[in-house]
Amino acid sequence: MRPDEITPDQLGEQAEWNTVRRFLPYLWPRQRPDLRWRIAASAALVLAAKVLVLSLPFAYARAIDAMSAAGSNAAQGARDQAFTVALGLVLAYAAGRFATTLFDQLRNIAFARVGQDAVSDLSQDVFERLHRLSMRFHLGRRTGELTRVIERGTKSISSMLYFLLFNILPTCIELVVVAVIFYTLFGWEIVAATAATVFAFIWITRAITEWRTKLRAQMNALDGQAMARAVDSLLNYETVKYFGAEAREKQRFASATAAYGDASVKTDVSLGLLNIVQALILQLMMGGAMAWSVWGWSKGDLSVGDMVLVNTYLQQLFRPLDMLGMVYRTIRQGLVDMAEMFRLMDTSLEVTDARQAPALIIRRPGLVFDNVHFGYDRDRTILHGLSFEVPAGSHVALVGPSGAGKSTIGRLLFRFYDPWAGRILIDGQDIREVTQASLRAAIGIVPQDSVLFNDTLAYNIAYGREGADDAAIEQAARDAAIWPFIQKLPLGLATEVGERGLKLSGGEKQRVAIARTLLKNPPILLLDEATSALDSRTEQDILDTLRRVSAGRTTIAIAHRLSTIADADLIHVIQEGVVCEQGSHTQLLRRDGLYADMWNRQLREEAEQPALETEPAQ
């Protein structure tokens, strides 16, 4: 089940309380006494505003009584006295209304920092947790849906805080106080009628809102699907263009948005029905209360001001109740959204540091794979007891057919996954026994698919080492043979590279990745098809640079084009997850095995390529 399909019924009351308990520390942070003072001030302002709101109807009602008592036939002195009393009460009523608004706004001002800090802290925790989750998790998630979960979870915090603290709680206080006032002034009958109306209103609102919540869950699911399709399509912009599939992508997105539109219409219709039922219940109560007041006035038991008092209190009481459906749905849906966000945070970490793990200390950056078994799924093993050694300071190449497990070696080396069995040692230290941060700081990689941030060239190169200055960035760009290209750009290093670096060619992106790794300056280099996107001339320039900077380092080159690793100190040929051949380029050719077969095949392909390029068009 996708997160958007989870409903409050499926969430359960226990899970709801667990969600609230998980969130409370963000609302009442122990290390922030300033925020606690803000919360206390907000609560005091809420109470002050509520006291004023409950006092104002008395001023209004007694002003009406004073004016009624001094009718048009009363003596001028009595009318002047009534005028003074009524005017004072009216001015007090106006001042009280202004003070109520003032207190509400001061409350919002005092609480704004609390809500924003809670949202910010929780968002940061979720963001940090997502980066700690395994590659398996991220490969199995849709980016669009994931961002929707986080967006809805964080946005629900502010609305939940506002409604819980400034709507539900004050309304409950007002219900109790109004019941006491009504009982004291008018007897138990009107209290019973008001209570019955409130309970009926809450029950009907809850029933319809539960139905609406299911519709809302369907709408959210379709919303997430539409967003996922849009993000997926835009990320694969080039593929869409390659196959001329713009119309197909539009149709897929249109079908998702149309389904979302239908669900949205149903949700809006249900809201209209809820508002009609709520208005009917409230107006029946209001009409009955007013009729009762008129009947009491006709018997001489109530004054005109009493009728105004009843009407004013009921209007004040029903105003927040009128929003109950929206408030209830917002809180319940907010709990669902927050629960799913907390579920992301609770996702188990596949790769974790051992308790009190030390940092990796490298004196001689030698590398050993010792009988490593691994697969991405238990029913499909990739590495079958892989063993090889990379001596410190040597240049070792890993080659083999597609699917042999070459790229998997790089992922295991960076501890994106842990092997099922066996060990990976760096300078005699099992990488599972040291911190991941120190491990990854010691290894630099130039990947086959170089993905860049949607920022400047300077930012992407400087990503290799935090705090790198302009001189270091320029030197890395020179070493990666990309500096002449940068100098030709109008904005130079300030040039934006676009989403995933789409504004650059494949070779330019690869050279930026190389510069980034050179700036990192690690003792171990992993070159995963590092020159696969370069032309022959640039490839030789880069290879010369890599040979120069790899001196004194341990370098592992994963290659498909064997000519790029022919000068390696040692070549390991991997087939079906094990090393089937090893030796230098010359030794492997003499052996006339898999490596020799791959070499001869590539020679034939390279010999045929010029002929294909010069063949005249038919």
pLDDT one-digit tens code per residue, 304-338: 777 777 878 787 777 777 776 667 767 777 777 77
116: CATH = 1.20.1560.10
More confident residue, 290 or 370: 370
Q: At residue 412, does pLDDT exceed 70?
A: yes
Q: Is residue 332 located within the same domain as residue 376?
A: no
How many domains, the chain?
A: 2
Amino acid, res. 232 = D
| Residue closest to 558 by CA, chosen among 376, 411, 406, 401 | 406
Domain annotation covers residue 5: no
Question: In angstroms, how far is CA 593 from the centroid of its own chain?
Answer: 51
Last residue of a domain, one of 310, 345, 380: 345
Q: Which helix (H) or strand (E) is 301 found in, with range?
A: none
More confident residue, 1 or 124: 124
At 265 the three-state DSSP class reads helix
CA angle 597/601/602 to nearest 5° reads: 120
Residue 4 confidence class, pLDDT cut points 50, 70, 90: very low
More confident residue, 545 or 258: 258
Q: At residue 11, does pLDDT exceed 70?
A: no
Question: In angstroms, how far is CA 7 from the centroid of its own chain?
Answer: 20
Q: At residue 339, does pLDDT exceed 80?
A: no
User: What pLDDT digit, counting tens, does each position of 548-600 carry?
Assistant: 667 678 888 888 778 778 888 899 988 888 888 888 888 888 888 888 888 88
Q: At residue 612, does pLDDT exceed 50?
A: no
Residue 212 confidence class, pLDDT cut points 50, 70, 90: confident
Structure tokens that stand for 365 in this block = 């950056």
More confident residue, 578 or 219: 578
99 touches 55 (CB < 8 A):
no
Q: List, in order, residues 6 or more apart from 115 with CB less than 8 Å away.
A: 157, 158, 161, 162
Domain annotation covers residue 306: yes
Domain annotation covers residue 81: yes
Q: At residue 73, does pLDDT exceed 60?
A: no
User: What pLDDT digit, counting tens, does each position of 93-120 carry?
Assistant: 788 788 888 888 888 787 777 777 777 7
Q: Which domain holds residue 389?
A: 367-614
Which among 213-227, 362-376, 595-609 has the top mean pLDDT? 362-376
Q: Is residue 193 located within the same domain as residue 134?
A: yes
Please state the φ and ψ torsions of residue 479, each to the nearest 5 degrees: -65, -30
Question: In angstroms, how far is CA 411 from the centroid of its own chain?
Answer: 25
Q: Is residue 158 located within the same domain as residue 275?
A: yes
| Residue closest to 137 by CA, chosen among 451, 366, 417 | 417
Q: At residue 3, does pLDDT exceed 60?
A: no
Q: At residue 284, does pLDDT exceed 70?
A: yes
Q: Is residue 550 located within the same domain as residue 416?
A: yes
Q: Is residue 280 located within the same domain as residue 392?
A: no
At 252 the three-state DSSP class reads helix
User: What pLDDT digit, counting tens, does each position of 22-53 carry?
Assistant: 776 766 767 777 777 877 788 788 888 888 87
At residue 76, the pLDDT reads 58
Q: Is 504 left (phi over 0), alpha (psi -120 to 50) or beta?
A: beta
Q: At residue 255, does pLDDT exceed 70?
A: yes
| Residue closest to 353 by CA, chosen among 444, 464, 430, 410 | 430
Q: Is residue 164 located within the same domain as residue 246?
A: yes
At residue 240, the pLDDT reads 79
User: For the ranges 153-157, 289-293, 505-509, 516-520, which has the lowest average pLDDT?
Assistant: 153-157
Token look-up 């106080």 returns 177
308 touches 296 (CB < 8 A):
no
More confident residue, 90 or 154: 90
Domain annotation covers residue 235: yes
At residue 613, the pLDDT reads 43
More confident residue, 196 or 542: 196
Residue 8 confidence class, pLDDT cut points 50, 70, 90: very low
At residue 48, the pLDDT reads 83
Q: Is residue 203 located within the same domain as residue 287?
A: yes
Q: Is residue 491 located within the same domain as residue 461?
A: yes
pLDDT over 90 percentage in the chain: 2
More confident residue, 462 or 72: 462
Q: At residue 276, does pLDDT exceed 70?
A: yes
At residue 616, the pLDDT reads 38
Residue 141 confidence class, pLDDT cut points 50, 70, 90: low
Amino acid, res. 550 = S
User: What pLDDT digit, counting tens, does each position of 354-403 carry?
Assistant: 888 888 888 888 899 999 999 888 788 888 888 999 888 888 989 888 77
Q: Is residue 227 located within the same domain as residue 111?
A: yes
Domain annotation covers residue 362: no
Q: Is residue 202 located within the same domain as residue 255?
A: yes
How many Å apart are CA 375 and CA 405, to the nearest integer?
9
List of long-range contacts for 292-297, beta carbons under 8 Å, 24+ apart: 292/189, 292/190, 292/193, 296/186
408: CATH = 3.40.50.300
What b/e readout covers 378-389, taking b as 16+ CB neighbours within 10 angstroms?
eeebbbeebebe
Domain annotation covers residue 430: yes
Q: List, in order, residues 6 or more apart from 201 with CB less than 8 Å away.
A: 278, 281, 282, 321, 324
Q: How far, CA to CA in Å, does 221 sit from each of 3, 252, 565?
A: 8, 16, 50
How many Å apart are CA 401 and CA 398, to the nearest integer?
10
At residue 136, the pLDDT reads 65
| Residue closest to 553 by CA, chosen among 584, 575, 510, 521 | 521
Token look-up 């009393």 returns 85
Structure tokens that stand for 230 in this block = 């849009």
Residue 140 confidence class, pLDDT cut points 50, 70, 90: low
Domain annotation covers residue 240: yes
| Residue closest to 321 by CA, chosen among 480, 438, 195 | 195
User: What pLDDT digit, counting tens, does each position of 145-165 carry?
Assistant: 667 677 777 777 767 777 777
Write down the mean pLDDT value for the chain.
Answer: 78
Which among 236-240, 270-274, 513-517 has the top mean pLDDT? 513-517
Q: List, in order, residues 6 or more apart from 568 with CB less than 8 Å away.
A: 395, 396, 397, 557, 584, 585
How many Å apart are CA 287 and CA 495, to the nearest integer?
69
The HSE-up count of residue 158 (CA atoms within 13 Å, CB side) is 14
285 touches 314 (CB < 8 A):
yes
Last residue of a domain, one of 312, 345, 378: 345
How many Å apart are CA 534 and CA 601, to the nearest integer?
21
User: What pLDDT digit, counting tens, does each position of 230-242 carry?
Assistant: 877 887 877 777 7
Residue 75 confidence class, pLDDT cut points 50, 70, 90: low
Structure tokens that stand for 367 in this block = 């590398």
Give me the sign of the Cα torsion angle 37, 42, 43, 45.
positive
Last residue of a domain, one of 280, 315, 345: 345
Q: Is residue 469 located within the same domain as residue 514?
A: yes
CA angle 564/570/572 to nearest 5° reads: 85
- Cross-strand partners of 524: 443, 554
Q: Is residue 308 located within the same domain as residue 377?
A: no
Domain annotation covers residue 7: no
At residue 14, the pLDDT reads 54
User: What pLDDT digit, counting tens, does each position of 160-181 carry?
Assistant: 777 777 777 787 887 888 888 8
164: exposed, middle or buried (C-beta count within 10 Å: 0-12, 13-18, 19+)? middle
pTM passes above 0.85:
no
